[in-house]
Amino acid sequence: MFDFIGYAAAFAVTLGILVAFHEFGHFWVARRCGVKVITYSVGFGKAIWSRTGKDGTEYQLGVIPLGGYVRMLDERVDAVAEHERHLSFNAQSVYKRFAIVAAGPIANFVLAVAVLWLMFGIGVPTVKPIIGEVAADSIASRANLQRGDEIVQVGNIEAYDWQQVQLGLMSAIGNEDVTLVVRSRNGNERMQTLDLSDWQFDPETESTFGSLGIDVYQPHVYTELAEVMDDSPAAEAGLQQGDVIETVNGEAVTNWQQLTEVIRQSPGQMLALGISRNGNRQQISALVGEQEGASGVIGYLGIMPKTEALPEGYVFNHQYGIVGGLVKGAQQTWDLMVISVQMIGKLLTGDVSVKNLAGPLSIAEGAGVSAGNGFVYFLSFLALLSVNLGIINLLPLPVLDGGHLAFFMVEWVRGKPVSEKVQDVCYRIGAALVFALMVLAISNDIVRYAF
């Protein structure tokens, strides 16, 4: 219940910010072009808040937070007095109308740059994309990727963390191959080409790099003891730092997780431990202690394992100064724009399944999860959605900004506007296509969360 409320709140805030900036782009440029703005609304439907400014514009919040609009004076829908005709949208030159309509998507791109600038200024806690285990007979193993290799670049995308690796690989969906730049443990860089001709990727169940046979790096945890706590059951049994536990009750111990599971399930019991100490094998009997856990009484010994040292700089704060953050924010926005266009193209060609289209439930979950993870992660999600909203609105569908821009371009070439009859037919077709996409995205959400 609380998750639902949190997701809904994060969804409303996210969409409200995106729509407000998008519509402000239209509003700001319209005013600069001398057009009278009647209504600036964030949300559709009945107004839950409304105020008329000194400029005569009504500012309002609609009850349905799934979009917004800027209503401008227009002779095609309003009775316009002769003295105000120069203030109407339709009376403006084709260049001004083009600028007013294009300003909405552009505002979303500007918002993405600003949000990412802020994110990089704050700093993003992250880990380097260092490869862990590589699955046998996988695409990654056939490309000779090794545990400990750091992925530096995927295609044209700089890979400073796993999210960037994900973006780079997503842009390669449908390609025959993709080239990686990887850095080995000794610091040498090399190029490796992944053959993607038989790549099978299901975004519902796995990550892009996981489907290639790549795991995120995790340091090895050994069965050698790095510490034995004072006055613990292990200390009383005579266990020492440096002991390697090889067997428990006669069964071989292959990893630390196996050992801890046996200990947890044996409170108050005696365990026969086969250890190696300075190369000599011996048996030690240890009485497992008892402590309260989340699921009841669990066992403990009071031992800590030796772990593999993390690579230098593995965990870092990805942060830039004022100028560097702005440059990085602009570069990241451009990368997101390119990938968004590529994904739309791959949807049209069938290289990406339409099952990947996300509806409001998926967006709400993404907003809620990112907000729960921290402010900088919410900013990253907000920037991604802002870019997607800008790109989608530039599609040449008549009900979207891109459709209007297409009409203006035809008008500029022909020297006269497209007839209202043709526009009306195109609007109907465009509305049907947009509605079909919405139904498909919502259907994907229903299948994703209900089954």
Which residues form the catalytic set?
23
Which among 257, 272, 225, 220 has a CA at the least distance from the CA of 244? 225
Structure tokens at 116: 């990412």
- Residues paired with 303 in a beta bridge: 228
Contact 279, 267 (CB under 8 A): no
Structure tokens at 13: 């805030």
Which among 355, 365, 431, 375 has a CA at the least distance from the CA of 398? 431
Q: How far is CA 135 from the centre of its chain?
A: 25
Q: What angle do CA 325, 329, 332 make, to 5 degrees?
A: 135
Q: Which residues of 179-195 are buried (b: 16+ CB within 10 A; e: fewer)?
A: ebbbbeeeeeeeebebe
Structure tokens at 18: 């995106």
Contact 245, 223 (CB under 8 A): yes
